[in-house]
């Protein structure tokens, strides 16, 4: 039976622990000469442009011995009106899995429902679960554990925040989210994570969220496709910048994370992103290793 990965909920806590340990091993070079996916072809269907997602998946697929097939809607019949369902049925005949980076999450669900092969969410407007796997891996590397860690997310309650909320619900770390009123993560996502035992608190004061935090995390204030809201959001989020003053409210050994791309000196200052507390670029590298472990897990079923 095929396994999809559309939301972090699609993996159990034990599976996530196993995946992170495998990713850390892959990063150390374990099984470097093995190609467990040799002979496989994996599609990358991207309706949104990308740096980290595309390159990390292409490189990871190659290192696992498989072939990556990159597609945009303009290059296939989806761009000329073929339905999502028909595209899914056809690609299922050629490929062994497909990674999709799209806008509405419903497009992923429709594709998955018609697909006979595993579907992986490379990003949707609602969720970014592959990023969350790399985030958890980074926290485990830097802090030695995930359970009991205190994470402060400062900024917009976007797709990255939604996946972090699900991660908190699954993995037992506390998550303080500081954002302006009206910019919280999805209410349904929050409810589900809290029902699962997640300790997730919504705050308005970023200093309160950062207090005694082990991890401070931020993302851009204006996500791709939301450029019309740019000036309004910049005004609302200005007090939520991650800067040296905010870090002063946290633990002395706090680490700073950002999923990138960063708008330097908007949501985070260059002083912080280039400073000694930042693990941003290791976090970006970990996309490669976490996704390789995910592909192994998904395609082993």
What positions carry a catalytic annotation? 101, 128, 131, 219, 259, 287
The answer for residues whose C-beta is within 8 angstroms of residue 150's C-beta and 6 or more apart is 173, 174, 176, 212, 213, 214, 215
Report residue 188 as tokens. Answer: 């349904």
The span from the CA of 62 to the CA of 58, in Å, is 6
The span from the CA of 166 to the CA of 189, in Å, is 7
The values of phi and psi at residue 105, to 5°, are -65, -25
The span from the CA of 17 to the CA of 288, in Å, is 17
| Positive/negative CA dihedral, 173, 287, 10, 35 | negative
- Look at residues 123, 85, 84 and name the one whose alpha carbon lies nearest to residue 105: 123
């Amino acid at each position: 039976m095929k396994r999809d990965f559309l939301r972090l909920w699609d993996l159990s806590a034990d599976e996530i622990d196993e995946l992170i340990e495998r990713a850390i091993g892959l990063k150390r070079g374990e099984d470097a000469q093995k190609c467990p996916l040799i002979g496989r072809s994996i599609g990358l269907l991207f309706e949104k442009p990308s740096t980290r997602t595309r390159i990390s998946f292409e490189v990871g697929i190659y290192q696992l011995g498989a072939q990556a097939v990159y597609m945009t809607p303009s290059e296939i019949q989806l761009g000329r009106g073929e339905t999502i369902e028909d595209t899914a049925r056809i690609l299922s005949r050629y490929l062994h899995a497909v990674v999709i980076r799209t806008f509405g999450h419903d497009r992923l669900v429709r594709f998955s429902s018609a697909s006979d092969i595993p579907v992986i969410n490379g990003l949707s407007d609602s969720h970014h679960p592959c990023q969350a796997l790399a985030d958890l891996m980074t926290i485990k590397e830097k802090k030695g554990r995930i359970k009991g860690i205190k994470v402060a997310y400062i900024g917009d309650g976007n797709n990255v925040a939604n996946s972090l909320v699900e991660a908190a619900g699954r993995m037992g770390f506390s998550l303080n989210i500081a954002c302006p009123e009206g910019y919280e993560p999805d209410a349904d996502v929050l409810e589900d994570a809290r029902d699962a035992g997640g300790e997730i608190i919504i705050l308005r004061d970023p200093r309160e969220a950062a207090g005694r935090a082990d991890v401070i995390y931020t993302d851009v204030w204006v996500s791709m496709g939301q450029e019309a809201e740019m000036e309004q959001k910049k005004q609302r989020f200005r007090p939520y910048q991650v800067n040296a003053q905010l870090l002063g409210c946290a633990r002395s050994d706090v680490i700073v994370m950002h999923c990138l791309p960063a708008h330097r000196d908007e949501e985070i200052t260059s002083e912080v992103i280039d400073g000694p507390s930042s693990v941003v670029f290791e976090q970006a590298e970990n996309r490669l290793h976490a996704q390789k472990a995910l592909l192994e897990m998904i395609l082993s079923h």
